[in-house]
Every structure is written in C-alpha cells, then in structure tokens.
C-alpha cells in the first residue's frame, strides 16, 4: 500500500510540472517589436481610388448605349442575312415579321431620344443624324423585302442588296461614332456653343438644306421610293435651331438673319410634310413646297455672300 501511494504521488507531481510550462515570451510585452500584421480586406479596399461620381446624363447615356447595342444585334441577326436571291423562289429575302419584332424598337427609341436631346451638343447632333440614317435605311429595307411579286427582279434585287450593304456600313459607322460620343465627359456631352462655334454650327445646318432635300426627297421620289423621314426630322430641327441662334445675335446683319429665318421656316414646312403620313391628294402641294425651299435657299445664299463680302466672314 505504501508503494502504491508513493507511485500515485510521483505521477501527480509529474503531471503538475507538465501543465505548468510557461508560454513563449511576447516581444510586444517585453518592449520589443511586434510581428507585422497582414493587410486586411478592408485596408485593401480603402487603398482603391474612389468611384467616379454618377453621370448627370446617365439616362441619356444608357438610352444611346442601348440603341447602339440593338442596332449591332439586328445587323448580325437580320440585316446581314438579307438574301435577295430568295425572291427567285418567291420567298422573302429575310423573315421580315420576325425582324420587325426584334428591330422596330430602333424606330421608337430613336424618336424618343432625338426628341428630347437634339440641340444639346454638336457631337450629339451629329450622332443623332447618323442614327436617323440607320433608322431610315432599316425601314426602307424592311419595306422592300416584303415585295415578293416583283416582275423585273434583277434591278429590284440589286436595290435590296445595295440597301443591305449601305445599312451595314452605317451600323458600323454609328457604333464607332457612338462610342466616341459616350466617352465624352458630362460637360462636353451636353453644352451650349457660342461665338464662332455657334456660327459654324448654324451655317452647317442651314447650308445642307438644299442637298438634304435633293438626296432625301427629290431623288427617292424620282425612283418611286420612300423618303428619308427620320433624317428629314433631324435636319428640320437643326435648321430651326440654327436660325434661332442667329436671330438672337444682334451683331449680325438683319437681312442675313431674316433670310436664315425664312429658309428655316420653308424647310421646316417641307421636312414636316414629308416626314408625316401625307395622303395622296396632298401630293399636289409637293412641287410648290420644294420650290419654296429652293427660293429661300437662293435668297439665304445671296445674303450670306453679301455678309462675307462686307467682312463678316462667318
């Protein structure tokens, strides 16, 4: 018994010695340097640059970006696949109803965007002009692709192929221009122009009225085709904005400002007429309206030349 008790006491002493081992010294507690602490996720986030503030024109940017993406999607899915040779088999060159289901949003969204944002900046105006051309070419292509029973098919197929290829080129061009416009900061995207920049912008809008009419009204009507109604709307509004800007500049000769206003009014009447759903009985007005634009353009051109000759140099 005495041996057993001694053995038990010996084991207890050994266990007590093991449990009483002291931990390794803490350098910080002894006044030494603590080991470096790993950067936390919070510290890493704090070192990142702050996010840029939201754009003041976020809705406009999103609208344009969405329109550009839809145009590119429609180009790949539908426009590029138009095959005029299918007319020889009495088939549509493309599934027009399905294409319109997917792509008619181009028309509605363009009208909404341009209505709210034209005349807000030179780059935006240029972009909306190109978007209008894409919209016009798309509607023209869809209309022509519905005509299966054409007798003289060779020139008609060439016309459809030409529209398809021109539309494809315009979609690519509008994508490039749109990317450049969306890259502008807010102050450059939407801004007023004055001085020489305003004059250049106004002269550009008014100076193209006659050529726009010839290209988008006169020529298509001779070819018994649809006019470029969306491009006409943009051109008419830009001309109106130009004449208003010139009228507000009292330093310009009155005759020049009046001629610009007269040209703008004549062009607005014509562009609105052809951009609307005019009836066949209204066709009698067309020649008179076009002549009024030509007459106003000649008067404007003379007034501009006189202004320049007097040293105005706008």
List per-residue pLDDT tens for the chain, 314 residues long.
444 444 444 444 444 444 444 445 554 444 445 545 455 555 555 567 777 778 999 999 999 999 999 999 999 999 999 999 999 999 999 999 999 999 999 999 999 999 999 999 999 999 999 999 999 999 999 999 998 877 788 999 999 999 999 999 999 999 999 999 999 999 999 999 999 999 999 999 999 999 999 999 999 989 888 999 999 999 999 999 999 999 999 999 999 999 999 999 999 999 999 988 665 545 667 777 888 899 989 989 999 998 888 876 56
How far apart, in whole angstroms, are the C-alpha atoms of residue 228 and residue 289? 17
CA distance readout (Å), 154 to 151, 184, 313:
9, 46, 51
- Dmax over Cα atoms in the chain, in whole Å? 136
Phi, psi angle pair for 82, to nearest 5°: -65, 125
What count of other Cβ atoms lies within 10 Å of the Cβ of residue 36?
6
Crossing angle of helices 96-103/105-117, nearest 10°? 30
How far apart, in whole angstroms, are the C-alpha atoms of residue 290 and residue 54? 47
DSSP label at 118? T
Do the beta carbons of residue 132 and residue 230 sit within 8 Å?
yes
Global pTM value: 0.80
Q: 5-10 contacts: CB < 8 A, separation 24 or more?
A: none
How far apart, in whole angstroms, are the C-alpha atoms of residue 237 and residue 135? 17
DSSP label at 54? P
Do the beta carbons of residue 118 and residue 238 sit within 8 Å?
yes
How far apart, in whole angstroms, are the C-alpha atoms of residue 109 and residue 120? 18
Phi, psi angle pair for 191, to nearest 5°: -160, 155
């Amino acid at each position: 018994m005495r041996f057993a008790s001694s053995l038990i006491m010996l084991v207890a002493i050994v266990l007590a010695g093991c449990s009483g081992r002291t931990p390794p010294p803490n350098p910080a507690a002894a006044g030494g340097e603590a080991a470096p602490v790993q950067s936390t996720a919070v510290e890493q986030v704090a070192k990142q640059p702050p996010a840029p503030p939201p754009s003041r024109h976020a809705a406009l940017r999103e609208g344009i970006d969405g329109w550009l993406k839809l145009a590119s999607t429609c180009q790949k899915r539908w426009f590029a696949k138009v095959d005029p040779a299918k007319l020889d088999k009495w088939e549509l060159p493309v599934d027009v109803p399905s294409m319109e289901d997917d792509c008619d949003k181009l028309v509605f969204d363009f009208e909404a965007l341009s209505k709210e944002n034209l005349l807000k900046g030179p780059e935006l105006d240029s972009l909306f002009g190109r978007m209008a051309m894409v919209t016009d070419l798309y509607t023209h292509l869809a209309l022509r692709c519905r005509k299966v029973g054409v007798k003289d098919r060779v020139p008609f197929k060439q016309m459809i192929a030409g529209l398809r290829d021109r539309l494809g080129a315009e979609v690519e061009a509008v994508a490039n221009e749109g990317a450049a416009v969306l890259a502008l900061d807010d102050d450059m995207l939407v801004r007023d122009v004055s001085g020489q920049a305003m004059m250049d912008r106004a002269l550009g809008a008014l100076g193209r009225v006659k050529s726009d009419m010839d290209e988008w009204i006169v020529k298509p009507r001779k070819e018994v085709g649809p006019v470029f109604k969306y491009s006409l709307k943009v051109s008419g509004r830009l001309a109106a904005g130009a004449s208003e800007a010139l009228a507000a500049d009292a330093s310009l000769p009155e005759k020049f400002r009046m001629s610009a206003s007269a040209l703008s009014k004549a062009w607005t009447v014509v562009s609105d007429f052809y951009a609307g759903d005019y009836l066949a009985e209204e066709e009698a007005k067309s020649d008179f309206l076009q002549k009024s634009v030509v007459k106003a353009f000649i008067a404007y051109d003379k007034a501009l030349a006189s202004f320049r000759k007097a040293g105005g140099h706008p």
